[in-house]
Amino acid sequence: MTNALSAFDAHIIGPSHLTKPNYIMLYGNPGSGKSTLAASIAAVPEYCPVLIISTEGGLVGILEGYNDEQIKVLEVSTHEGFNAVFQAVIDDDAAGTLPYKTVIIDTMDVQFDRALEHYAEVEEARAKPDSFKKWAQVGEWANGVSRGMKDSNFLGITVLHSKRTKSENGPYEDNLALSGAAKDKAAGVPDIVGFTVREKRSTTLYVGSSNNRATKSRFENVLPDEIVDPTMKGILDIISPKKKEAK
């Protein structure tokens, strides 16, 4: 005898399938090590090959030590170009034909600004433009990208710049360099949101909850609030169930 819910058995998963992040967001000041950290996923064979969708061409020197079999870089410079590439990634992933195990967007805020400019131009071309509509459109676009990264079969990593603003609860806040509602919603989708700081040739990744940073970790029971000189392999090793079983 079967029940009606049995029709969804192929889509029902257990806790063992929820032990690894599938969407990570890294943000910080220029030169703080966020892109280097994101690219370090290429040192983990399980997550190779890696595709980096580069929106600002800032990867010179960062990928030293990796070979062409580990990482491929696709540079985009327009809103339309990014959308075409990203949709192709999502379509291939859904069809099971995507050759990449990890997809990195570096940097998301640069592409966000291009999207905002695109929607502003579209609205200005209308007979009765609505200056507020562009914010709703770019917010929907940004959420679509985030959901696409989160709901995929590959590991998604987005890299963003940070923006320091005055805080109501303290001297400052280090936020994602996004505007409008997207700034508040973006950090809610990933499994891990980390803020990178570079001091004295050493990078520190902050993932613990903070009133002054948009950080977050759904692995707070195993992942420390601060990680010095982090690598993606090191982060995954900390939260890996295999490591727990070996103890």
Range of the domain at 86: 20-246
CA 180-185-189 angle, to 5 degrees, is: 150
Grouping H, G, I as helix, E, B as strand and the rest as coil, residue 104 is strand
Q: What is the pLDDT of residues 48-79, one digit of tens each?
A: 999 999 999 888 889 999 999 999 999 999 99
CATH of residue 91? 3.40.50.300
Residue 240 lies in a domain: yes
In a domain, 15, yes or no: no
pTM for the model: 0.89
**Kind and range of the H or E run holding 196:** strand 192-199
Does 3 reside within a domain? Answer: no
In a domain, 14, yes or no: no
Give 132's contacts (C-beta < 8 A, 6+ positions apart). none
pLDDT one-digit tens code per residue, 113-160? 999 999 999 888 777 777 788 999 999 999 999 999 999 999 999 999
